[in-house]
Structure 1
Amino acid sequence: MRTISKYYLVCFISFLSVVGCTKKDQKTYPQKVPLTESVYASATIQPDSLYEAYSSVSGILDYNLVEEGETVRKDQAIVQIGNLETEMNKRNVQLSLRLARDNYEGEAAILREIQDEIKTALLQLKNDSINYFRQKNLWEQNIGSKIEFDNRQLAYDLSQNTLRLLKRKYERTQNELSTQVMQAENDVKAAQKISKDFTIASKIDGTVYALYKNPGEIVSTNEPVAAVGHSNRFLIELLVDEVDIVKLDIGQKTWILLDAYGNQVFEAKLSKIYPKKDERSQTFKVEATFLVPPKKLYPGLSGEANIVIAEKDETLTIMKEYLIDGSRVLTDEGEMPVKIGIQSLDKVEILDGIDENTVILKPNR
């Protein structure tokens, strides 16, 4: 038993020695150093103006007209959805338009026939007019019969009336044929619009980053069929905790670390703050743009970011682990209140309460 007691006594003395040395080593002084306060965010690279293309009609996918990764121009077709019935209707209305135009202005135009009738009626009117006025002069000289004069007058009146009716017929037919042409043109435009709905085109000059459907699959109006974005312009999508969002402003310096580039740091600046919180992740989305982007970027590259919200070239600081409850430090004379300023991941600025000559002790946690 005596041997065991000596053993424990040696251990206890050794323990006190370690504690004493540790406590002595945990003394430090505040130091004046540069300090930067920043907000952490997770980062994901996305193409600028990235959007998902939806179809306004339902159907069966006929063709993907481009490949993933292929560059496209604005209004270039990307996806074709089957629309046999729509195509047949478009051809029919195009035929109707052609017929309406032929009737209105073509070689076999209905108006041309009426124009020929008008020419004939004009000749007849001229002839009947000559006969009428000749017979009228004779009748005024008491030459000829009353019946012959009346017949000439009747023929002249009928010729005038026929010409008048033909001119009205021409105007009416012209209006009707013109209306038919306009209606047929409207039908063609409507059919083309409907047909265009079955062809999904790019809204921008860019790259097709994803095609979500294969030929033969069903396309619905509530599922995207493709993702398109700019080819060479990328932005950094950042997710920020809700407790930090109020500290951010447009234009703040941002440091980016991408997993694909190891420890290489890229400088960016905050360009957009989205006002709506994601209720599932309890984060806000913000965007930053590279000042000098990496040589190669791909959608979905991930990493992390630090958004700088305050910087000082030199200020009095202590390690955070020496701070008690965010407002006090432990000194040889006991706990003392301090006023803190900006803070980094491991340091905090001291604005008042202690100076560089104050010995501070690490508190027991």
Structure 2
Amino acid sequence: MKRVLFIGLFLIIGACSEKKDRTLPIQRPITESVYSSVTVQPDSLYEVYAIVSGILDANLVEEGDIVLKNEPLIQIINSSPKLTAENAKFTLELAKENYNGKAAVLSGILDQINAAKLKYKNDSINYFRQKNLWEQNIGSKIDYDTKKLNYELSENNLLTLQNNYQRTKNELLTTVKQSENNYRTALISTKDFTVKSKINGKVYALYKEPGEIVNTMEPLASIGSINNFIMDMLVDEVDIVRVKIGQDVLIHLDAYNGKIFKGNVSKIYPKKDERNQTFKIEAVFENPPAVLYPGLSGEANIIIAKKDSVLTIPKNYLIDDTKVETDAGLVTITTGLQNMEYIEVIEGINKDTYIYKPE
């Protein structure tokens, strides 16, 4: 008798242990979002570079200072551009002197042209005089041909010298213009010993100390907006097609544990980062925190869509993404919005249909 009771009790316990979890669909609001990492950066942040190489003489500002546009930031020492500017000035003066005709280049050609004109005039008179005589059958054929040849040679020589003069003049004018450009460029280089700010903003970083070598490839400082901050966000490539300008963003910063800030998507960069397979987007705060620093990190959810009241089921009750187990067996359902826990049911079951959690 005791053995029969024990076996019956075992069967009842086994049957209870095999019973699956079940639930009913629930009407609730649902919000679908895309996850993103967040890094806070000042708006208009840029790296400051020098146009000339040299030695850093002095940082004229400190990190955290507020600066105005065109305010000096860094002083650099380099004597090479000054010497270059002086040499460019000498070259320019020489080019101008050559062009103005005071040197022997153009004046020598002019002298040759004047002599050629006299010879051409003389040969012309002799030729036409001999031509008139020849037409009257006076004189020899040799005299006529000789004077004609001299006339033609004189004419060609004069034209050649005149063309040479104009070509030389144009070349000298081009040299003057090139020398002027080189001189202006050299002057700009001498002015760039002092690096200035391009915007009104705050100095967030100085990368070099006095005495260090400066070149044109390494940044000297980092400057950005004083109060306006943006969020650099990285979105996975499978989600980027659902992100649009203007969508709401819920931001959680590690420095403000437990507090949620609101923002909006302001920019989407079209090029994918091949290293981590993500796209960069930017967002702006609606009501930013009172204190922000560059580099603050956190995470965000970009709101893709939301509904106030829809029929939902837990996501872990889904089978093969489109089916649920009911008292009538497997049923195919049509789904809609979803978040980390729940998914919207559009059709296939109703609020009175029990569904079972798959093993």
Q: What TM-score, normalized to structure 1?
A: 0.68
Name the residue aligned to 1:140: none
The yes-or-no answer on 1:244 pairing with 2:239 is yes
The yes-or-no answer on 1:334 pairing with 2:334 is no
* Separation in 1, partners of 2:280, 2:7: 61
The yes-or-no answer on 1:218 pairing with 2:200 is no
Deviation at 1:59? 2.0
Taking structure 1 as reference, are residues 60 and 38 closer, same or farther at Cα in structure 2, changes over 3 Å only? same
Name the residue aligned to 2:73: 78
The question of whether the paired residues in 1 share the 8 Å contact of 2:57 and 2:77 is answered with: yes
The yes-or-no answer on 1:269 pairing with 2:264 is yes
Name the residue aligned to 1:209: 204
The yes-or-no answer on 1:31 pairing with 2:29 is no
Taking structure 1 as reference, are residues 16 and 58 closer, same or farther at Cα in structure 2, changes over 3 Å only? farther
Name the residue aligned to 2:315: 320
Q: What TM-score, normalized to structure 2?
A: 0.69
Deviation at 1:68? 1.1
The question of whether the paired residues in 1 share the 8 Å contact of 2:314 and 2:342 is answered with: yes
Where does the alignment leave 5 or more consecutive residues of structure 1 unmatched?
Answer: 1-7, 95-181
Q: Secondary structure at the match of 2:324?
A: strand
Counterpart AA for 1:325: D
Counterpart AA for 2:17: V
Q: Secondary structure at the match of 2:279?
A: strand
Pick from 16, 19, 24 the counterpart of residue 17 of structure 2.
Answer: 19
* Separation in 2, partners of 1:18, 1:197: 84
Deviation at 1:93? 9.2
Name the residue aligned to 1:292: 287
Counterpart AA for 2:26: Q
Report % sequence identity: 53
* Separation in 2, partners of 1:257, 1:83: 48
* Separation in 2, partners of 1:336, 1:14: 29
Deviation at 1:64? 1.4
* Separation in 1, partners of 2:53, 2:185: 18
Deviation at 1:199? 2.3
The question of whether the paired residues in 1 share the 8 Å contact of 2:59 and 2:74 is answered with: yes
Q: Map of 1:164-243 to 2, 5 A cutoff?
A: 189-243=184-238
Where does the alignment leave 5 or more consecutive residues of structure 2 unmatched?
Answer: 1-5, 90-176
Moved more, 300-309 or 83-92: 83-92
Taking structure 1 as reference, are residues 186 and 338 closer, same or farther at Cα in structure 2, changes over 3 Å only? closer
1:272-307 deviations in Å (ceiling 9; x for gaps):
000011111111000110111110100000010000
Q: Map of 1:66-215 to 2, 5 A cutoff?
A: 66-87=61-82, 189-215=184-210
The question of whether the paired residues in 1 share the 8 Å contact of 2:56 and 2:76 is answered with: yes
The question of whether the paired residues in 1 share the 8 Å contact of 2:51 and 2:189 is answered with: no
Deviation at 1:186? 7.8
* Separation in 1, partners of 2:61, 2:48: 14
Number of residue pairs matched by the alignment: 271
* Separation in 2, partners of 1:337, 1:196: 75
CA RMSD of aligned residues (A): 3.0
Name the residue aligned to 1:47: 42
Deviation at 1:190? 4.2
* Separation in 2, partners of 1:92, 1:305: 59
